[in-house]
Chain A
Amino acid sequence: MSNEPESVRSYQRVFRPDRRIYSIDGRPLPVPGGVPLRWLGYAVATLIAAIVIPAATATVAVLGAVAAAVVGLAVGGRATALGAAVVAFVSVEIVGFVVGMLDWPLRLVVLPAAIATLANQKTPDGRSAESFAASWIALHLAPRRRSVGRALPPAGRAITVRGETWISPDGHSPKLRRARVTGPALVSFSVPVEEIKRRRGRRVVRRLGWHRRRGGVTSSVALIPGEVLEVRP
């Protein structure tokens, strides 16, 4: 190893290309440095929104509400989903109304250009504008206090859990339950049962009752390996 300091180069810039359009059909654009593709993307998206929202406000509002509900469900829960859907619906309605009020040059040229320029220049928290916006929305939609992503009530508020506790029965249950046991085994019953032998070594046990008996009465059944006993109460 040499004792001289080494230079460590970074090639990250190569992997973050700033794609721009400098000319269209051989004609240079009158913009020094070209038009960033990202800017164009933002502008087109805003333009489409500015055309579609005022034209079909109700439809877009419903679609927006559905999308917001899905996001709300992902980040919070059902209550968040509902809240997000309502907010999205109302917001789209208001935006549709406001945008619809604007004159077409303002709506179709100035607004997309302004939003695209803003989104292209701003990199809050070192992220793209849309990524930051998504996090910002998720932060405001999600419940403040959470545990592993699940909503919790504010600190200090008592919660009551209502529900039924289901207990899975096991062999100590006083009730004869359906079961299938494969041998080798010795199966004991707390009450006498009727044992019926079927074909191919299958054996069936059922409770004693008023029905006609087809087998003997027993309180335990011994099974050889592979033999199957079915309990049919």
Chain B
Amino acid sequence: MIRFPLRYVSGNILIGPSGEAAALYRIETAAYPYLPAGDKQAVAARLVRFAHVVAADFSIWRVQRTYPSDRYVTDLEAAVDERHTDPDSWRRFLRDHQDRLSASPSHLPEVYLAVTLTAQGESVLGQGVISSFDRARRRLEQLFRVDQPRPISGKDLAKLAETERRTFDRLGGVLDLRRAKTSEIQWLLRRGGTRGVTEPELDGNWQPDALVIETPDGSNTYEPLEHDLIRCANEPMTEDPAEPASLVVESEWGTSYQAFTSLGTLAAEAVFPSEQAELLFAPVEAVGFPVDAVIHVGWIGNRDALAQVRKRILDVEHAYREQEKGSIAGPGLVASEDRELAREYEAILQGTSHPPMLQASISFAVGAPDRPELERRVDALTERFGDVPLHRPRGLQHHLFFEHLPRVGSEVVDYEQQMTVEQFGAMVVTASTDLGSDTGTYIGVSPAGGGRPVRYDPTEASRTSRASAVLLAGTLGSGKTLTAQAIAYAAERRGSLVVDFDPKPDHALDQVPELAGQVEILELSGDEASRGRLDPLAIGLPELREELASSYLLELLPDPPPAWENQVQRAVRDAIRANERNLGAVVARLKTSDDTAANEVGDALEVISDFGLARLGFAAADPTGEEVDR
């Protein structure tokens, strides 16, 4: 029997059909593939730590959102510096990028976490038995379709909100998470119907509604209008027994062919970091098309876990003894290994960290616009998992569809399996192949994750107090120069002054048609033709010219006496006051001064100004207007 998994949503609190509740959070993903092994282990360790502190059942959805290219122009058009460029050319540049991004089939992973909430209250003797009986009665009523919806009391909602606050505080120290927004819950519900076809259209005013009823004792109860939630995922679906296990979902935006697979037995031993262990990241990112993953986890505290393991120890010991006594061939290798494994796990559970044990089921959802493409995608995904079996259960496709919607717990128990917290952590569900800045211009695509767009914001480093130097490393022909050119070109379009050092030279920015007439090429040579091209009084910013020119001149002089320093500074000041825009004029001033020290330093600078590369800094004393403009 299929039931819609949600009855009501209040804020980020999900309430299931039997009154069970969970809080939904969005977890930030972490750029992973290019980390050193130690940092990868740190990512896994955070997840292990989370599994320790969560102390409740939880579910994690890793879903793929189409790259939000429609916001690209809007996000960046305000970054233009109108003093130095034409805003229209900047907008045209961005629109070209947006067109390119819209045409690319890239997706971004988003990770959501639902933690089961148990309202804290005074325990009453026999309450557990009564609530179990109540749950069984309600299931029976649902089976015969005679159930009546029970209102949710305001008091219960307040208790859940309080529990959610505590849960958020507890988990906030371990994972980078925030409360899920109503729009995100709507998206998670609606996207199931259009998986593999398109992004669903969202209703900006959507909010699950409920009738608020005042009870005789003056408190409020809520009777959810469940259709608000159900209508988000009530597309007609067909599971045709004649076809490979899959669903045909007839959504308003097109027919989507979807297949749901469940993860089978994990490898007996996996190396981390490796694709074999990173099952919720590596295979789903490597296939190049969007794959949704969900893990529903039953959390078993250390004491209960130990009790279960000890029972299993009795089992394996019993099997070993039985084989020893009864089998003709004596105890088998498997029986011996089982004994060791059980003892080993008992020792782990008894360790100082007292880890919990997890009972988890993992499933994957793949969507496609037609059946051949769906089969191709399922085959590709199954192949990526290698030795770890991926089952495609017939008759459970409908149920698994609802497992991928935001919900409280899981109803498909066929693929539940024991898992250690280390196995869970090694799956690195929060890992991502995202590269680059969140904002900034589009400079290329990442090699992993199906060619995900990479953006670069040159201002990000200074805004976030990080080093602003960027290293482009790669083999010959891998695109280092092109990337640098793309960054430089985007900065120029935005209105920045770009200084490009081209030692080879092979950047050829002057040959870009859009930059025709705007590129000044400055060759660093002592040639007379290059004289004065880097004259500080000519190229320096007005407010910095004086300091720039003085320090430049003094640096050229080896150990100048204090009198020379004074004369140089005075001459520079006078030249700037006289609106002279070249160091040649400063030298001339020094030489014609009445002061002996000034004459001496003038002579010294005159010699230096006509020597090698120093010519670049000394324009002639009477420059033409052309030189100054340049």
Are A34 and B323 interface neighbours, CB within 8 A? yes
Contact of A75 among B1, B240, B264 (CB under 8 A): B1
Interface range for B: 35 or more
> Which residues of A are found within 8 Å of B271, using beta-carbon distances?
5-8
Complex interface: stretch among B125-133, B309-317, B364-372, B493-501: B309-317
Does residue A210 face the partner (Cβ distance < 8 Å to B)? no
Does residue B93 face the partner (Cβ distance < 8 Å to A)? no
> Which residues of A are found within 8 Å of B42, using beta-carbon distances?
1
Look across to chain A and name the residue whose beta carbon is closest to the beta carbon of B2. Answer: A149
Does residue A212 face the partner (Cβ distance < 8 Å to B)? no
Complex interface: stretch among B326-334, B429-437, B484-492, B583-591: B326-334
Measured CB to CB, the closest approach of chain A to B425, in angstroms, equals 8
Does residue A188 face the partner (Cβ distance < 8 Å to B)? no
Contact of B36 among A3, A73, A155 (CB under 8 A): A3
* A12-B266 CB under 8 A given contacts A2-B41, A34-B327, A149-B3: yes
Q: Name the residue in B2, B240, B395 with the highest tally of chain A Cβ atoms < 10 Å from its Cβ.
A: B395
Complex interface: stretch among B25-33, B414-422, B622-630: B414-422
Are A126 and B389 interface neighbours, CB within 8 A? yes
Taken residue by residue from 19 to 37, chain A's Cβ proximity to chain B (1 for < 8 Å, 0 otherwise) reads as 1111100101100111000
> Which residues of B are found within 8 Å of A5, using beta-carbon distances?
37, 271-274
Does residue A14 face the partner (Cβ distance < 8 Å to B)? yes
Does residue A170 face the partner (Cβ distance < 8 Å to B)? no
Look across to chain A and name the residue whose beta carbon is closest to the beta carbon of B145. Answer: A73
Are A73 and B143 interface neighbours, CB within 8 A? yes
Q: Name the residue in A9, A33, A34, A149 with the highest tally of chain B Cβ atoms < 10 Å from its Cβ.
A: A9
Contact of A9 among B269, B325, B414 (CB under 8 A): B269
Give bound CA distance, A136 to B397, whole Å. 11
Does residue B270 face the partner (Cβ distance < 8 Å to A)? yes
Are A17 and B3 interface neighbours, CB within 8 A? no
Give bound CA distance, A56 to B274, whole Å. 60
Are B236 and A155 interface neighbours, CB within 8 A? yes
Q: Name the residue in A2, A10, A14, A70 with the highest tally of chain B Cβ atoms < 10 Å from its Cβ.
A: A14
Measured CB to CB, the closest approach of chain B to A73, in angstroms, equals 7
> Which residues of B are found within 8 Å of A55, using beta-carbon distances?
none
Does residue B378 face the partner (Cβ distance < 8 Å to A)? no
Does residue B426 face the partner (Cβ distance < 8 Å to A)? yes
> Which residues of B are found within 8 Å of A127, using beta-carbon distances?
391, 393, 414-415
Give bound CA distance, A126 to B263, whole Å. 9
> Which residues of B are found within 8 Å of A155, using beta-carbon distances?
236, 250
Does residue B233 face the partner (Cβ distance < 8 Å to A)? yes
Are B234 and A147 interface neighbours, CB within 8 A? yes
Does residue B505 face the partner (Cβ distance < 8 Å to A)? no
- 7 A-B pairs with least C-beta separation: A22-B326, A135-B395, A149-B2, A23-B326, A139-B395, A126-B391, A1-B38
Besides A8-B277, A29-B326, A135-B395, 4 other CB < 8 A contacts? A11-B344, A15-B418, A28-B325, A32-B329
